[in-house]
Structure 1
């Protein structure tokens, strides 16, 4: 297996050579074998990362100590952490397995960022791949759920996917490699274990070459998925556009063009799946809904606005948050970027630049979202106008209104509806002595 693995790495993962690698290790057979093999290849700098999920009492602590000892034996640095997995599972309404997965992968990425690792290696193998396929099949899934575990997913690399559990165990036995046995792996109360111990053995009785057959099937499905992905890219170029006119990046989907396709719901799924939407009937219903109707995922919002569906990331800012600019401050970068500078004269302006009379300002200035009751004296017009009326006259969408920022004086008078309209009360005149140029980047 060692020579086969060495050739496998050279042929399929040449980009690992000379890189800084983080190997995820539980102390079990698969991750320990992966660690031993990489420690002898000398193709890259490797460190170990171990999570103690506190799910098996003293056994979890013994796993951790085993990994620490192995790191010392192989002269590999070990990063270790402890999680209260049951608490996290309960607070986030997740199964124990999903909670543990979130915790460990989030931690891996923190280590990558902090210590500049190039890749994280995990020890998933061919049997894991088959189990995942069967789990997804029983739960109901699209084609993607049947294509198996990817060997490379961004900075996560799985070099053992072509090897069976039997091959890995044989390698460990022949090379006198010790590992920790997790007794919970023998229990069948978990879906994966039930499939591992009860379903797959029966399938292997029907087909002793099950893993080889599955590998071929998985490859065919991946190739089919690639055809779909290529087709979706062509469709996306025709029906999807980007809008950067608000503080948020907006993805726009042309409703009329989507409805002309053979199966709008399927195409919407392919176009929107990356945004974590799950209620696909509700998503499809937006096509014929009134403007203003919306659907939410955990991370994004999908809004019907006239002839388009608008996708935006859910903002982390609270609607009532206020940000301050002191008198001698020259810029802010949060929540938006504003630059303030003294100038000697007013020149032609663009939508993202205004000139104001500094002597009319009351500091600290504030940056905030609009509120009911706000009004301004729009430049170029006589009198004042409620901001809600101004938005209506300008035909701003709900999304545009929600992402409009105001620059205000400390007495709450609006100086500028950013990138839209300046207030008359702060305009530069022939009597102005001190001019401030304000630029929104």
Structure 2
């Protein structure tokens, strides 16, 4: 039942100890959000802490100002902290989607208020009719079971405690309790898809069955239970085909390929790869191929799928360079550079090696960097030239290991060696070399 105790029951279901939390209510002035504010106000005596935020877009002239005044008057009368954002000329309106622009604007404002006032949850007044409209929109988009499961009651610290109540119940409650609210007449226009669904399709559906909304609510509950069950099964499959998950998620490409298209899609979608026509490319891609989503880079390493957060990738965080030696004092016959003692312990260089260079063939300063496209060298002990990428493949060095390997390069960016595997033979010193630069990595007890 829609009343203060009913709201408290809903909040109890969504989060533990709701009366010990703090809330920001998004209040537009419409019946649903004003009822929400009224219900929270009734709960102040039992310890509920909340504030109200309103955004005036100025899109409906004096009507927008009257919406603001209704919310502000309610907050003043009930001694509730009120936050206002009034859209001005500096808030440039887009030429395409006003709705998307407005949504981004208000949620940015809400988050700013939450952060400033230290309010844990944002609370909106979405109701069961909003659920139905969203269901129909997602049905037309082939959104799958997640889309058909409706608007979540608790996601990303946003609570929607009125989702189980119909618009009719909310209007009736507002009338019975003399709650002032404003009617947004623009909702009666059929300019937008949601309005057309609300004004044309939903009334037709409601006429088909006196218990339509009640049955729809039950159907949503069944869909949510089915979704949760499916996600548990997907999670179990992912665990079964998982090779590692620290620091990267690594899955068996061979085993995932044996699963149904639905399972493939659901698992890859977690990492942002949600274009169905792109999924076959992942399973047919050559070793070393990369795919990018908004948040992840997917690397194909033979029969492995390696998922890396893009914040770790070189395109977002350029790899560091380490200047190893600035110059060579040619008055010295030999200079020794122990990587461990000169630049500290580098986890990736864990193999003992020792390289001798003819210092007069080198162009200083010398530095350590990561592999770059086009790198090539003349590896010691081999004939001819070889691309560093091909050297990695021939040495069967995994994709992940390659990204941790350091390349020794000179001032002109020529590769002097791939640490700790091979140095470039063109720069190697011999018994006739007068000025030797020795670069090595040995622990103190090995020297």
> Is the TM value for this pair above 0.5?
yes
- Deviation of the 1:59 alpha carbon: 3.9
Q: 280, 284, 296: which is aligned to 2:280?
A: 284
After TM superposition, give the deviation of residue 116 of structure 1 in Å. Answer: 2.9
Deviations 1:58-78 (A, max 9, x none): 544543454344333322223
Counterpart secondary structure, 1:284: helix
Q: Which residue of 2 aligns with 1:100?
A: 102
Q: How far apart are the structure 1 equivalents of 2:166 and 2:158?
A: 20
The match for 1:254 among 241, 252, 255 is: 252
- Describe the superposition over 1:173-221 as per-residue Cα deviations: whole angstroms up to 9, x where unpaired: 2222222322221111211111111111111111121110001111111
Task: Give the gaps of 5 or more residues in structure 2.
Answer: 325-338, 429-436
Alignment of 1:174-323 (within 5 A): 174-242=176-244, 244=246, 249-261=247-259, 263=260, 265-315=261-311, 318=315, 321=318
Seen in structure 2, the aligned counterparts of structure 1 residues 422 and 227 have a Cα distance that, compared at 3 Å, is: same
Structure 1 unaligned runs (5+)? 328-341, 436-441
User: Does the CA contact (< 8 Å) of 1:268 and 1:284 recur in 2?
Assistant: no
TM-score, length-scaled by structure 2 = 0.73
Which residue number in structure 2 is paired with residue 25 of structure 1?
Answer: 27
CA distance in 2, matches of 1:401, 1:177: 66
CA distance in 2, matches of 1:61, 1:354: 71
Alignment partner, residue 118 of structure 1: 120
Distance 1:98 1:345, change over 3 A: closer
2:333 — aligned with what? none
1:41 positional shift: 0.5
User: Could you say if the C-alpha distance between residues 390 and 285 of structure 1 is closer, same or farther in structure 2, counting changes exceeding 3 Å?
Assistant: closer
Equivalent residue of 1:17, what SS?
helix
Q: Deviations over 1:96-135 (max 9, x none)?
A: 3234334433443444444432211111111111111111
CA distance in 1, matches of 2:50, 2:79: 10
Counterpart of 2:151 in 1: which secondary structure?
coil
Distance in 2 between residues matched to 1:396 and 1:53, nearest whole Å: 58
SS in 1 for 2:232: helix
CA 1:224/1:31 → structure 2, altered by over 3 Å: closer, same or farther? same
Q: 1:73 aligns with which of 61, 73, 77?
A: 77
Q: How many residues align?
A: 405
- Structure 2 residue aligned with 1:45: 49
Q: Aligned equivalents of 1:408 and 1:61: distance in 2?
A: 66
Structure-2 separation of matches of 1:135 and 1:175: 33
CA–CA distance in 2 between the matches of 1:398 and 1:345? 28
Q: 292-301 or 213-222: which moved more?
A: 292-301
Which stretch of structure 1 is more off in the superposition, 76-85 or 293-302?
76-85
Distance 1:427 1:157, change over 3 A: same
> Match of 1:335?
none
Q: CA deviation at 1:44?
A: 1.9
Deviations 1:272-313 (A, max 9, x none): 222333321221332133224444333333343311223233
Say which one has the larger Rg. 2
1:332 matched to which residue of 2? none
Q: Distance between the aligned counterparts of 2:123 and 2:65, measured in 1? A: 23
Tell me, in whole angstroms, the C-alpha distance in 2 between the residues paired with 1:111 and 1:354: 53
Partners of 2:405 and 2:72 in 1: how far apart?
53
Quote the Cα distance in structure 1 between the aligned partners of 2:188 and 2:195.
7
Q: Distance in 2 between matches of 1:399 and 1:272?
A: 20
The question of whether the paired residues in 1 share the 8 Å contact of 2:54 and 2:68 is answered with: yes
Deviation at residue 166 of structure 1 after TM alignment: 1.3
**Structure 1 pair 65/279, CA: closer, same or farther in 2 (3 Å)?**
same
**TM-aligned CA deviation for residue 236 of structure 1:** 0.9
In 2, the alpha carbon distance for the partners of 1:282 and 1:218 equals: 31
CA contact (8 A) 2:25 2:52 kept: yes
Residues 1:152 and 2:171 aligned together:
no
Q: Which residue of 1 aligns with 2:175?
A: 173
Which residue is equivalent to 2:392?
391
- CA distance in structure 1 between the partners assigned to 2:406 and 2:169 by the alignment: 61
Q: Contact 1:50/1:64 (CA < 8 Å) preserved in 2?
A: yes
